[in-house]
Amino acid sequence: MPVTTYKPTTSARRGMMREDTSMLTTNKPKRSLTGNIKKSQGRNNQGRITTRHKGGGKRRMYRQISFSLPNNYKGVIEHIEYDPNRTSHIARVKGSDGNYRYILAAQGMKVGQKINSGEESAIETGNRLSLNLIPVGSVIHAIELVPGRGAQIVRSAGTSAQLVARDEVNAQVKLPSGEVRLISVNCTASLGVVSNEQHQNVAIGKAGRNRHKGIRPTVRGVVMNAVDHPHGGGDGGRHRMAKAPRTPWGQKTLGLKTRHNKSTDKYIVRSRHAGKRR
């Protein structure tokens, strides 16, 4: 699916690109599957900014996504839709019981395609099975980490993981980062690659598009005063930093290791950094 360019009527339009929406079949979401989003503008309950560079943005409705499907579920795709809250597209599925669900759309999904889950499901794109039923070498996405909790990883546009090995208890899954991780064979995953693979090639083009997304401007630390940032002060930014890169509060960044979840280290078979050392 290629990206769409604009005629260079202005300087901003010259380099602007957007996703091709030709695969989308409707621009109106199912009302019963939507809800309001409460905006915090990056502030806490005291009104203080706790997350910088957030505010404004286009008003949007949240789509309730089913990150897991009931066992022996059967449904038919009615529409492929745009979701403003995530990078991938979503599919509206009507179940055999008459109820509707939203699921992450996989690459190649079409209106009228049947979606199944459970032991009797075929090995086809979009179907959801437990890892002990998926053939080794298959490409998967929307993977659970804890059985029954719902998909937690590999949900972004164009991403996929690969089932590389399996025993009676755990499966080895190669994630998009290159990490090989142990996941229980009772966890479920969907077959295929997440849709909207050209999302990474989109060029914003102008600052206004970021403001529509609720992203406010970022000011570099080197152009601030010394009182405002560890990089600030001096001759107006025409100098190099004397220290390693730091946050406005003096904490090291850009290369500082932030992973402290040692309780899950035992599930990592191969680090995401191992392939980069070669």
Q: What are the pLDDT tens digits along the chain (278 aa)?
A: 578 899 999 998 998 998 888 889 999 999 999 999 999 999 999 999 999 999 999 999 999 999 999 999 999 999 999 999 999 999 999 999 999 999 999 999 999 999 999 998 999 999 999 999 999 999 999 999 999 999 999 999 999 999 999 999 999 999 999 999 999 999 999 999 999 999 999 999 999 999 999 999 999 988 889 999 998 888 876 777 778 899 999 999 988 888 888 889 999 999 988 866 66
Q: Among candidates 72, 252, 89, 212, which has minimal Cα distance to 155?
A: 89
> Which 3 state secondary structure label does DSSP give 80?
strand
Which spans in the chain are helix H? Answer: 11-14, 207-212
Residue 19: per-residue pLDDT: 87
Domain range 3-199, CATH class: mainly beta
Beta partners for residue 34, in sequence order: 63
Q: Which residues contact 172 (CB under 8 A, 6 or more apart)?
A: 163, 164, 165, 166, 180, 181, 182, 269
Number of other CB atoms surrounding residue 235 within 10 Å: 6
Strands (E) across the chain are located at 3-5, 17-19, 34-36, 61-63, 74-81, 90-95, 100-104, 114-116, 128-130, 139-141, 143-144, 151-153, 161-166, 170-174, 180-184, 188-191, 268-270
Residue 255: per-residue pLDDT: 86
Residue 277: per-residue pLDDT: 65
The reported pTM is: 0.90
d(CA 26, CA 38): 25
> Which 3 state secondary structure label does DSSP give 101?
strand
> Which 3 state secondary structure label does DSSP give 114?
strand
Residue 278: per-residue pLDDT: 60
Residue 62: per-residue pLDDT: 96
